[in-house]
Amino acid sequence: MNFALWFNVAGRTNNDGVAVMTRTVVGCFLTGLFPVLVSGCAFSSSPAHWTAGYDEERTIDAAGLEAVSVQTHNGAIVIDGGDAVDDVVVSTHKRGGGCTPSDAKAALAAIEVYVEPAGAGSQRIGWRWKGAKRWTWEARVDFNIASPSDIRFDASTHNGDLQARGLTAEASLLTHNGAIDVASLGGRLDAVTHNGAVRAQGLMADASLVSHNGDVDVASVGGRLNVSTHNGRIIAKHSGGMVALATRNGAIAADLSGAAPRGVIATRNGAIRISLGEASSARLNFQTRRGTISSDLPLQDSHVSRSHLTGTIGDGQGALDVTSRNGSIRLAKGSG
């Protein structure tokens, strides 16, 4: 590694009247820095080499256990709940990345998976570097967890998908870049992804589903349902309590064929289709700025214009407000 220097040369007279020359360093450049820095490793946005996967398995005693938190940075998390499962079994799949094969192996050896107490009745699952992390290292750590169904879970990853099935307790799921897939949950659900789709089927309690950029597809049979996405469509089938569906850019298709649907449904840019059954009972208020409104169902006390519909279906026990700024709205016949 070499240094290149630039000098500014100037003349002056010292105290004895003798002319001398001075040199001032005005710049330098560290040669040999690019493209190689350490052991042949060049600057790169991602590792050039990854190790083969390495699997570990640990068991957590479920006696007295109420809650588990799981966190990884780059990796997927899968949680399977079941009544026949006695303890929490954590299966880990990890890979190390580096600029050379030996550097990747060193990264793998430096990944430490931990399971540790996080307060009374709670355990924390995750991973960390055993020592100082080299700038060339990356890690991918996936968790696959089998658990009794009545344990609460809080799971998060920056880059990876999340799945949860068969839980009867609360679940909180967060990913920055990845999809969320949920099925057969009996407890409250909070699910957020910044970039990815959300699919949730068989929800039996309150649920909040958020995607900043992605579609949301949900089927809920109980509790309140709150769904929002900035850029994506919403497909919802709901027969529980209050419903709130909102997207900025995307269509909405909502089957609310329950007895007395209540809620607010809105999109800025997209069409809306609301399906109600013959046994449904609700007061309706539909509005659009740029689009048309149509109804396939007979309404009582109705007022219908090109951009506004009000009316009652059944006894009017529920209430639905539906709005689109730029898109048509259709009231269709559902299955109920």
* 89-94-96 Cα angle (round to 5): 165
pTM: 0.85
Q: How far is CA 171 from CA 154, 166, 198, 214, in A?
A: 6, 11, 14, 21
pLDDT digits (tens, 9 = 90+) for 15-46: 454 444 444 444 434 444 444 444 556 656 68
- The DSSP H or E segment spanning 186 is none
pLDDT digits (tens, 9 = 90+) for 223-265: 999 999 999 999 999 988 899 999 999 999 999 987 789 999 9
What's the rounded Cα separation, in Å, for the pair 187 and 167?
Answer: 7
**144, burial (CB in 10 Å: exposed 0-12, middle 13-18, buried 19+):** middle
Q: Residue 32: its pLDDT value, please?
A: 44
pLDDT digits (tens, 9 = 90+) for 198-225: 999 999 999 999 999 999 999 998 899 9
Q: b/e for 60-98, b at 16 or more Cβ within 10 A?
A: bebeebebbbbbbbbbbbbbbbeeebeebbbebebbbbb
Q: Residue 221: its pLDDT value, please?
A: 83
Contact of 267 with 250, CB cutoff 8 Å? yes
Q: Residue 336: its pLDDT value, please?
A: 58
What's the rounded Cα separation, in Å, for the pair 228 and 214?
Answer: 10
pLDDT digits (tens, 9 = 90+) for 117-167: 999 999 999 999 999 999 999 999 999 999 999 999 999 999 999 999 999
Please measure the distance between the N-terminal and C-terminal CA atoms of the chain and give it in whole angstroms: 77
Kind of pairing, strands 111-117 and 122-129?
antiparallel
Looking at the predicted structure, is the pLDDT value of residue 10 above 90? Answer: no
Listing DSSP states for 211-250 in one string gives EEES-EEEEESSS-EEEEEEES-EEEEE-SS-EEEEEEES
What's the rounded Cα separation, in Å, for the pair 285 and 274?
Answer: 12
Two tokens at 106? 């060193």
3-state secondary structure of 102: helix
**273, burial (CB in 10 Å: exposed 0-12, middle 13-18, buried 19+):** middle
Contact of 117 with 126, CB cutoff 8 Å? no
What's the rounded Cα separation, in Å, for the pair 286 and 322?
Answer: 5
